[in-house]
Amino acid sequence: MYERVIREAQTREDLNAYLNAMSLRKVWHDLFLPVPVKTAWEARFPALREPGATTAAASWTSCTAD
């Protein structure tokens, strides 16, 4: 589901409604996403590319708040 939401969400509200930050961090490296999409998300949310991403403390809401 996360792959589909990341690829097809139309608004920030869609992302907030269907993605959970902690769950996303746990599955991030297993998701099959186009390289440009994965690169863009990792640039926007550096915690996703870090080895300890599953223990990062930032919440999804705070990541998308600005």
pLDDT tens for each residue of 3-39? 999 999 999 999 999 999 999 999 999 999 999 999 9
What distance in Å separates the CA atoms of residue 19 and residue 1, rounded to the nearest whole number? 9
Range from 27-31, 39-43, 45-49, 51-55 carrying the lowest mean pLDDT: 51-55
Going by C-beta distance under 8 Å and a sequence separation of 6 or more, which residues neighbour residue 15? 5, 6, 9, 60, 64
- Whether residue 56 is predicted with pLDDT greater than 50 in this model: the reply is no
d(CA 37, CA 7): 8
pTM: 0.70
Cα(32)–Cα(1) distance, integer angstroms: 11
pLDDT of residue 55: 39
Q: Where are the beta strands (DSSP E) in 1-66?
A: none
| Alpha carbons 64 and 66: distance in angstroms, whole number | 6
pLDDT at position 63 is: 56
